[in-house]
Homo-oligomer: A and B are copies of this chain.
């Protein structure tokens, strides 16, 4: 069964969300692509303070009540085959207008920042797949981040490993990719962010083509379901987007939880054999590798 769902909230797209979902496909067991737009948002005192704390000395004088806009595009693709990794990605932009700054050149009245990334959560480790994936983002970073101070593939790869981490398990969620935030919006950074979104399908589809025909056992599928428990644990315990989404007044819960895997298993004290393919994966999740 293939099924798509579409929700346009609040009548028009200018402030709302659009979610498209594919469920029960033979390659994608559950996939979601979401676009969220916020126009004329009003900063809470907490959020204004957070932004102010990240501003340089001559930065904006952001106050509670100032107006912001935000836009985010995100995608998660949960695969039917445990041989194909789950893919997650997003790009987002946040813009704020200061009502108390004067635009004298050093003291801007409006600023914007980008964030985003892309990462893989495999169930079985095919090193070439992971290397190819990282290589694409490394090449992209090297072509773009020269003009974006503080942002390099090395830093954004490390930020990704650090973000997708389950401290209680001492496990990273997947084999990473890149993750970035608070990136000042410039021509250079916009070109980079557009490049990230353009790289999503070229970084994932070749892996799908290579692996989705491979046969797998019931035990291998079960391993995927068990690992998906960790995926949901991360989303509910640590993911900032999920936490932010569920903390809203009258949250659109289906939109927030659309990233949840379609089927999950929990087993007490699941044991894996030392030296098995499952063990190989866990070793890398315990200690992230330099892939390229």
A interface residues (Cβ-Cβ under 8 A, vs B): 5, 7, 19, 21, 23, 30, 32, 168-169, 225, 229, 232-233, 236-237, 246-247, 251, 253-254, 256-258, 260-269
CB within 8 Å for A262 and B266 given contacts A168-B251, A237-B246:
yes
20 contacts between A and B (CB under 8 A): A5-B268, A5-B269, A23-B268, A30-B268, A168-B251, A229-B257, A232-B232, A232-B236, A233-B236, A236-B236, A254-B268, A254-B269, A257-B266, A260-B266, A261-B266, A262-B266, A262-B267, A263-B265, A263-B266, A264-B265
With a cutoff of 8 Å between Cβ atoms, the chain B residues found around residue A236 in the complex are 232-233, 236-237
Copies of this chain, how many? Answer: 2
Known: A168-B256, A229-B260, A253-B168. A21 touches B237 (CB 8 A): no
What are the residues of chain B within 8 A of A258 when measuring CB–CB?
268
**Chain A binding site: helix, strand, loop or mixed by DSSP?**
mixed
Alpha-carbon distance A269/B260, docked complex (angstroms) = 12
Closest Cβ of chain B to A247, distance in Å, is 8
Minimal beta-carbon separation of A75 from chain B (angstroms): 14
